[in-house]
Structure 1
Amino acid sequence: MYELLVLSLLMKFPLHAYLISKISNDTIGPWEKVSRGTLSTLLNKLEKAGLIQDSDPATVPFPTDRPSRTFEITNKGKSRFFELMLDTKKNLGNYQKIFHIKAIYFEFLNEEDQLYLVHHYIKHCQTAIDHIKAQQLEFDENPEQVKSMQGTSFYTTIESLMHLNAEQWNLERQWAINFKEQIMMSIKNDKRKEHSNDTKMESR
Protein backbone atom coordinates (compact mmCIF):
# COMPACT_ATOMS: atom_id res chain seq x y z
CA MET A 1 0.00 0.00 0.00
CA TYR A 2 2.81 2.42 0.86
CA GLU A 3 4.50 1.87 -2.51
CA LEU A 4 1.26 2.67 -4.32
CA LEU A 5 0.70 5.73 -2.16
CA VAL A 6 4.17 7.18 -2.78
CA LEU A 7 4.07 6.54 -6.54
CA SER A 8 0.54 7.97 -6.71
CA LEU A 9 1.63 11.19 -5.01
CA LEU A 10 4.57 11.56 -7.40
CA MET A 11 2.26 11.03 -10.39
CA LYS A 12 0.81 14.44 -9.50
CA PHE A 13 4.08 16.36 -9.13
CA PRO A 14 7.60 16.14 -7.64
CA LEU A 15 7.63 16.34 -3.86
CA HIS A 16 10.00 16.90 -0.97
CA ALA A 17 10.49 13.77 1.13
CA TYR A 18 8.92 15.37 4.20
CA LEU A 19 5.82 16.28 2.15
CA ILE A 20 5.54 12.70 0.95
CA SER A 21 5.56 11.70 4.62
CA LYS A 22 3.01 14.31 5.67
CA ILE A 23 0.53 13.69 2.85
CA SER A 24 0.86 9.91 3.25
CA ASN A 25 0.10 10.08 6.96
CA ASP A 26 -2.77 12.51 6.39
CA THR A 27 -4.21 10.01 3.89
CA ILE A 28 -3.95 6.83 5.97
CA GLY A 29 -4.30 8.39 9.45
CA PRO A 30 -5.17 9.04 12.15
CA TRP A 31 -4.00 5.79 13.75
CA GLU A 32 -1.84 4.27 11.04
CA LYS A 33 1.36 6.17 10.33
CA VAL A 34 4.36 5.71 8.03
CA SER A 35 7.40 6.10 10.23
CA ARG A 36 10.40 8.09 9.03
CA GLY A 37 12.48 4.93 8.97
CA THR A 38 9.90 3.00 6.94
CA LEU A 39 9.50 5.85 4.45
CA SER A 40 13.26 6.36 4.13
CA THR A 41 13.76 2.65 3.46
CA LEU A 42 10.95 2.65 0.89
CA LEU A 43 12.25 5.74 -0.92
CA ASN A 44 15.72 4.21 -1.11
CA LYS A 45 14.25 0.96 -2.42
CA LEU A 46 12.19 2.76 -5.08
CA GLU A 47 15.19 4.84 -6.10
CA LYS A 48 17.44 1.78 -6.44
CA ALA A 49 14.75 0.09 -8.53
CA GLY A 50 14.69 3.09 -10.87
CA LEU A 51 11.08 3.97 -10.03
CA ILE A 52 11.87 7.42 -8.62
CA GLN A 53 14.80 9.80 -8.90
CA ASP A 54 16.10 13.09 -7.54
CA SER A 55 14.31 16.16 -8.82
CA ASP A 56 14.94 19.91 -8.91
CA PRO A 57 13.36 21.42 -5.74
CA ALA A 58 12.16 24.33 -7.90
CA THR A 59 9.72 21.96 -9.64
CA VAL A 60 7.82 21.29 -6.40
CA PRO A 61 4.59 23.34 -6.37
CA PHE A 62 4.89 23.88 -2.61
CA PRO A 63 7.81 26.22 -1.80
CA THR A 64 9.67 25.63 1.44
CA ASP A 65 12.85 26.67 3.24
CA ARG A 66 13.08 23.28 4.89
CA PRO A 67 16.02 21.16 3.62
CA SER A 68 14.76 17.91 2.15
CA ARG A 69 15.46 15.64 -0.79
CA THR A 70 13.09 16.06 -3.71
CA PHE A 71 11.83 13.13 -5.75
CA GLU A 72 10.02 12.65 -9.04
CA ILE A 73 8.62 9.53 -10.67
CA THR A 74 10.41 7.94 -13.63
CA ASN A 75 8.84 6.29 -16.69
CA LYS A 76 9.58 2.93 -15.07
CA GLY A 77 7.86 4.20 -11.93
CA LYS A 78 4.80 5.19 -13.95
CA SER A 79 4.59 1.67 -15.36
CA ARG A 80 4.79 0.28 -11.83
CA PHE A 81 2.07 2.72 -10.71
CA PHE A 82 -0.32 1.40 -13.39
CA GLU A 83 0.57 -2.18 -12.46
CA LEU A 84 -0.29 -1.54 -8.79
CA MET A 85 -3.47 0.35 -9.66
CA LEU A 86 -4.81 -2.53 -11.75
CA ASP A 87 -3.86 -5.25 -9.25
CA THR A 88 -7.04 -6.63 -7.68
CA LYS A 89 -5.66 -9.87 -6.20
CA LYS A 90 -3.18 -8.86 -3.51
CA ASN A 91 -3.94 -7.57 0.01
CA LEU A 92 -7.68 -8.28 -0.22
CA GLY A 93 -7.99 -8.05 3.56
CA ASN A 94 -6.92 -4.41 3.37
CA TYR A 95 -8.39 -3.69 -0.05
CA GLN A 96 -11.00 -1.23 1.20
CA LYS A 97 -8.30 1.24 2.24
CA ILE A 98 -6.25 0.49 -0.86
CA PHE A 99 -9.20 1.15 -3.16
CA HIS A 100 -9.85 4.49 -1.46
CA ILE A 101 -6.28 5.47 -2.37
CA LYS A 102 -6.77 4.22 -5.92
CA ALA A 103 -9.99 6.18 -6.32
CA ILE A 104 -8.19 9.48 -5.63
CA TYR A 105 -5.88 8.85 -8.60
CA PHE A 106 -8.37 7.52 -11.15
CA GLU A 107 -7.60 10.55 -13.34
CA PHE A 108 -4.44 8.79 -14.53
CA LEU A 109 -6.35 5.73 -15.79
CA ASN A 110 -8.23 5.36 -19.03
CA GLU A 111 -12.01 4.97 -18.93
CA GLU A 112 -11.95 1.21 -19.43
CA ASP A 113 -9.59 0.66 -16.49
CA GLN A 114 -11.58 3.01 -14.26
CA LEU A 115 -14.77 1.05 -14.88
CA TYR A 116 -12.96 -2.28 -14.46
CA LEU A 117 -11.66 -1.29 -11.03
CA VAL A 118 -14.92 0.17 -9.75
CA HIS A 119 -16.90 -2.86 -10.99
CA HIS A 120 -14.44 -5.12 -9.17
CA TYR A 121 -14.80 -3.09 -5.98
CA ILE A 122 -18.59 -3.25 -6.10
CA LYS A 123 -18.24 -7.06 -6.32
CA HIS A 124 -15.69 -6.94 -3.47
CA CYS A 125 -18.25 -5.16 -1.27
CA GLN A 126 -20.99 -7.58 -2.31
CA THR A 127 -18.78 -10.54 -1.40
CA ALA A 128 -18.39 -9.13 2.11
CA ILE A 129 -22.16 -8.57 2.36
CA ASP A 130 -22.92 -12.10 1.13
CA HIS A 131 -20.48 -13.54 3.69
CA ILE A 132 -22.27 -11.75 6.54
CA LYS A 133 -25.69 -12.83 5.21
CA ALA A 134 -24.48 -16.45 5.11
CA GLN A 135 -23.43 -16.18 8.77
CA GLN A 136 -26.79 -14.70 9.72
CA LEU A 137 -28.62 -17.40 7.75
CA GLU A 138 -26.64 -20.10 9.54
CA PHE A 139 -27.84 -18.69 12.85
CA ASP A 140 -31.45 -18.57 11.61
CA GLU A 141 -31.48 -22.07 10.11
CA ASN A 142 -29.88 -23.77 13.10
CA PRO A 143 -31.86 -22.50 16.10
CA GLU A 144 -31.03 -25.58 18.19
CA GLN A 145 -27.29 -24.92 17.90
CA VAL A 146 -27.60 -21.35 19.14
CA LYS A 147 -30.46 -21.90 21.57
CA SER A 148 -28.15 -22.10 24.57
CA MET A 149 -26.52 -18.77 23.59
CA GLN A 150 -29.67 -16.79 22.80
CA GLY A 151 -30.34 -14.05 25.29
CA THR A 152 -26.71 -13.90 26.37
CA SER A 153 -24.53 -10.81 25.86
CA PHE A 154 -22.17 -13.00 23.77
CA TYR A 155 -24.92 -13.82 21.27
CA THR A 156 -26.49 -10.36 21.12
CA THR A 157 -23.10 -8.69 20.64
CA ILE A 158 -22.18 -11.01 17.77
CA GLU A 159 -25.59 -10.41 16.20
CA SER A 160 -25.30 -6.63 16.52
CA LEU A 161 -21.79 -6.68 15.07
CA MET A 162 -22.98 -8.64 12.04
CA HIS A 163 -25.71 -6.05 11.46
CA LEU A 164 -23.19 -3.25 11.88
CA ASN A 165 -20.74 -4.82 9.41
CA ALA A 166 -23.52 -5.43 6.90
CA GLU A 167 -24.62 -1.79 7.14
CA GLN A 168 -21.04 -0.56 6.71
CA TRP A 169 -20.44 -2.70 3.63
CA ASN A 170 -23.81 -1.69 2.17
CA LEU A 171 -22.81 1.96 2.58
CA GLU A 172 -19.44 1.24 0.97
CA ARG A 173 -21.11 -0.58 -1.92
CA GLN A 174 -23.53 2.31 -2.46
CA TRP A 175 -20.63 4.78 -2.44
CA ALA A 176 -18.89 2.64 -5.10
CA ILE A 177 -22.06 2.57 -7.20
CA ASN A 178 -22.32 6.37 -6.96
CA PHE A 179 -18.64 6.63 -7.87
CA LYS A 180 -19.26 4.45 -10.93
CA GLU A 181 -22.15 6.70 -11.97
CA GLN A 182 -19.88 9.77 -11.68
CA ILE A 183 -17.33 8.07 -13.93
CA MET A 184 -19.96 7.15 -16.51
CA MET A 185 -21.35 10.68 -16.45
CA SER A 186 -17.86 12.07 -16.99
CA ILE A 187 -17.34 9.69 -19.93
CA LYS A 188 -20.66 10.76 -21.42
CA ASN A 189 -19.79 14.46 -21.07
CA ASP A 190 -16.38 13.89 -22.69
CA LYS A 191 -18.05 12.17 -25.64
CA ARG A 192 -20.49 15.07 -25.99
CA LYS A 193 -17.60 17.53 -26.08
CA GLU A 194 -15.78 15.44 -28.67
CA HIS A 195 -18.93 15.24 -30.81
CA SER A 196 -19.47 19.00 -30.48
CA ASN A 197 -15.86 19.72 -31.47
CA ASP A 198 -16.11 17.36 -34.45
CA THR A 199 -19.32 19.07 -35.55
CA LYS A 200 -17.67 22.49 -35.33
CA MET A 201 -14.69 21.26 -37.37
CA GLU A 202 -16.98 19.85 -40.07
CA SER A 203 -18.95 23.10 -40.30
CA ARG A 204 -15.85 25.16 -41.04
Structure 2
Amino acid sequence: MESNSEPIAIIEIDIQKVAWQNLLLTVFLMIAFFFINIFIHHDFTFHISISHVLLNFLLFIILYIVLIVLHECCHLLGFVLFGKVPFSSLKYGVNLKIGVAYATTTELLSNKAMRKALLLPFWLTGVIPAVIGFMMDSKLWIFLGAWLIAGAIGDFIMYIKLRKYPKQYLVRDDPNLPKLYVYKN
Protein backbone atom coordinates (compact mmCIF):
# COMPACT_ATOMS: atom_id res chain seq x y z
CA MET A 1 0.00 0.00 0.00
CA GLU A 2 1.28 3.42 -0.85
CA SER A 3 0.18 6.98 -0.30
CA ASN A 4 1.88 9.98 -1.86
CA SER A 5 -0.43 12.58 -0.33
CA GLU A 6 -0.17 14.52 2.88
CA PRO A 7 -1.67 12.90 5.97
CA ILE A 8 -5.19 13.99 6.89
CA ALA A 9 -4.32 13.55 10.57
CA ILE A 10 -1.35 13.04 12.84
CA ILE A 11 -1.95 11.09 16.02
CA GLU A 12 0.63 11.75 18.68
CA ILE A 13 0.71 10.93 22.37
CA ASP A 14 2.23 13.00 25.14
CA ILE A 15 4.84 10.69 26.70
CA GLN A 16 4.88 12.49 30.06
CA LYS A 17 1.09 12.46 30.36
CA VAL A 18 0.95 8.78 29.38
CA ALA A 19 3.70 7.99 31.91
CA TRP A 20 1.56 9.44 34.73
CA GLN A 21 -1.53 7.63 33.49
CA ASN A 22 0.50 4.43 33.31
CA LEU A 23 1.74 4.87 36.89
CA LEU A 24 -1.76 5.51 38.27
CA LEU A 25 -3.27 2.62 36.32
CA THR A 26 -0.44 0.28 37.39
CA VAL A 27 -1.01 1.05 41.09
CA PHE A 28 -4.79 0.74 40.70
CA LEU A 29 -4.55 -2.59 38.84
CA MET A 30 -2.03 -4.05 41.29
CA ILE A 31 -4.33 -3.28 44.23
CA ALA A 32 -7.47 -4.40 42.38
CA PHE A 33 -5.88 -7.63 41.12
CA PHE A 34 -4.50 -8.37 44.60
CA PHE A 35 -7.98 -8.16 46.14
CA ILE A 36 -9.62 -10.01 43.24
CA ASN A 37 -7.12 -12.84 43.78
CA ILE A 38 -7.94 -12.94 47.50
CA PHE A 39 -11.64 -13.11 46.60
CA ILE A 40 -11.08 -15.90 44.04
CA HIS A 41 -8.91 -18.07 46.29
CA HIS A 42 -10.35 -17.10 49.70
CA ASP A 43 -6.78 -16.90 50.96
CA PHE A 44 -6.24 -14.17 53.53
CA THR A 45 -2.90 -15.48 54.79
CA PHE A 46 0.42 -13.87 54.01
CA HIS A 47 3.80 -15.56 54.13
CA ILE A 48 6.60 -13.05 53.81
CA SER A 49 10.30 -13.72 54.09
CA ILE A 50 13.20 -11.60 52.92
CA SER A 51 14.55 -14.34 50.66
CA HIS A 52 11.09 -14.86 49.13
CA VAL A 53 10.65 -11.12 48.51
CA LEU A 54 14.13 -10.76 46.99
CA LEU A 55 13.68 -13.82 44.76
CA ASN A 56 10.27 -12.60 43.55
CA PHE A 57 11.63 -9.10 42.98
CA LEU A 58 14.48 -10.49 40.86
CA LEU A 59 12.07 -12.75 38.93
CA PHE A 60 9.71 -9.81 38.43
CA ILE A 61 12.46 -7.64 36.92
CA ILE A 62 13.64 -10.43 34.59
CA LEU A 63 10.13 -11.41 33.49
CA TYR A 64 9.07 -7.78 33.10
CA ILE A 65 11.96 -7.11 30.71
CA VAL A 66 11.17 -10.30 28.78
CA LEU A 67 7.48 -9.32 28.56
CA ILE A 68 8.34 -5.80 27.34
CA VAL A 69 10.43 -7.34 24.56
CA LEU A 70 7.54 -9.72 23.77
CA HIS A 71 5.10 -6.77 23.85
CA GLU A 72 7.01 -5.11 21.03
CA CYS A 73 7.40 -8.42 19.17
CA CYS A 74 3.60 -8.77 19.34
CA HIS A 75 3.29 -5.46 17.49
CA LEU A 76 5.61 -6.85 14.80
CA LEU A 77 3.56 -10.04 14.67
CA GLY A 78 0.41 -7.93 14.32
CA PHE A 79 1.92 -5.96 11.44
CA VAL A 80 2.68 -9.22 9.61
CA LEU A 81 -0.55 -11.08 10.47
CA PHE A 82 -3.05 -8.26 10.10
CA GLY A 83 -1.22 -5.87 7.77
CA LYS A 84 0.46 -8.50 5.58
CA VAL A 85 3.71 -6.50 5.56
CA PRO A 86 7.00 -8.18 4.59
CA PHE A 87 9.47 -9.06 7.34
CA SER A 88 12.00 -6.75 5.68
CA SER A 89 9.80 -3.75 6.60
CA LEU A 90 9.93 -4.46 10.35
CA LYS A 91 12.13 -2.53 12.76
CA TYR A 92 12.63 -3.03 16.50
CA GLY A 93 14.69 -1.19 19.08
CA VAL A 94 14.89 1.13 22.05
CA ASN A 95 14.64 4.91 21.85
CA LEU A 96 16.91 5.98 24.71
CA LYS A 97 16.00 9.66 24.29
CA ILE A 98 12.40 9.08 25.34
CA GLY A 99 13.02 5.81 27.20
CA VAL A 100 10.76 3.44 25.28
CA ALA A 101 11.10 0.24 23.35
CA TYR A 102 9.50 0.36 19.92
CA ALA A 103 8.42 -1.83 17.04
CA THR A 104 7.49 -0.36 13.70
CA THR A 105 7.06 -1.07 10.02
CA THR A 106 8.02 1.09 7.09
CA GLU A 107 4.85 -0.03 5.27
CA LEU A 108 1.43 1.59 5.38
CA LEU A 109 -1.25 -0.47 7.10
CA SER A 110 -5.00 -0.22 6.87
CA ASN A 111 -6.53 1.46 9.89
CA LYS A 112 -8.22 -1.83 10.76
CA ALA A 113 -4.90 -3.74 10.68
CA MET A 114 -3.10 -1.05 12.70
CA ARG A 115 -5.76 -1.10 15.41
CA LYS A 116 -5.45 -4.88 15.71
CA ALA A 117 -1.65 -4.67 15.82
CA LEU A 118 -1.86 -2.00 18.54
CA LEU A 119 -3.95 -4.19 20.86
CA LEU A 120 -2.36 -7.60 20.26
CA PRO A 121 0.33 -7.08 22.97
CA PHE A 122 -2.32 -6.08 25.53
CA TRP A 123 -3.91 -9.51 25.21
CA LEU A 124 -0.77 -11.62 24.87
CA THR A 125 1.58 -9.95 27.36
CA GLY A 126 -0.91 -8.34 29.76
CA VAL A 127 -4.15 -10.28 30.03
CA ILE A 128 -2.65 -13.76 29.65
CA PRO A 129 -0.06 -13.31 32.46
CA ALA A 130 -2.80 -11.88 34.73
CA VAL A 131 -5.09 -14.83 33.99
CA ILE A 132 -2.21 -17.25 34.65
CA GLY A 133 -1.59 -15.45 37.93
CA PHE A 134 -5.22 -15.77 38.98
CA MET A 135 -5.32 -19.44 37.98
CA MET A 136 -2.06 -20.26 39.80
CA ASP A 137 -2.71 -17.91 42.73
CA SER A 138 0.60 -16.22 41.86
CA LYS A 139 1.02 -12.61 42.93
CA LEU A 140 4.15 -12.40 40.77
CA TRP A 141 2.18 -13.14 37.56
CA ILE A 142 -0.80 -11.04 38.68
CA PHE A 143 1.44 -8.02 39.21
CA LEU A 144 3.26 -8.65 35.90
CA GLY A 145 -0.12 -8.69 34.18
CA ALA A 146 -1.10 -5.44 35.91
CA TRP A 147 2.13 -3.73 34.81
CA LEU A 148 1.84 -4.90 31.20
CA ILE A 149 -1.88 -4.09 30.94
CA ALA A 150 -1.18 -0.58 32.23
CA GLY A 151 1.87 -0.42 29.98
CA ALA A 152 -0.41 -0.74 26.96
CA ILE A 153 -2.15 2.57 27.75
CA GLY A 154 -0.34 4.40 24.94
CA ASP A 155 -1.48 1.71 22.50
CA PHE A 156 -5.07 2.12 23.74
CA ILE A 157 -4.92 5.90 23.34
CA MET A 158 -3.76 5.53 19.74
CA TYR A 159 -6.37 2.82 19.12
CA ILE A 160 -9.16 5.08 20.40
CA LYS A 161 -7.96 7.99 18.26
CA LEU A 162 -7.82 5.75 15.17
CA ARG A 163 -11.41 4.54 15.70
CA LYS A 164 -12.83 7.79 14.34
CA TYR A 165 -11.35 7.07 10.89
CA PRO A 166 -12.71 4.52 8.41
CA LYS A 167 -11.09 1.09 8.59
CA GLN A 168 -9.81 1.31 5.01
CA TYR A 169 -7.82 4.52 5.64
CA LEU A 170 -4.07 4.00 5.69
CA VAL A 171 -1.79 4.51 8.67
CA ARG A 172 1.98 5.01 8.75
CA ASP A 173 3.85 4.49 12.00
CA ASP A 174 6.55 7.05 12.78
CA PRO A 175 9.89 5.23 13.07
CA ASN A 176 11.20 7.46 15.87
CA LEU A 177 8.28 8.81 17.89
CA PRO A 178 4.96 7.53 19.26
CA LYS A 179 3.12 9.08 16.33
CA LEU A 180 0.83 7.81 13.56
CA TYR A 181 0.05 9.44 10.24
CA VAL A 182 -3.42 8.83 8.80
CA TYR A 183 -4.08 8.95 5.04
CA LYS A 184 -7.21 8.60 2.94
CA ASN A 185 -7.05 5.44 0.89
Larger fraction in helix: 1
Higher relative contact order (CA 8 A, sep 6+): 2
TM-score range, shorter chain: under 0.3
Q: TM-score, normalised by structure 1?
A: 0.23
Larger fraction in strand: 2
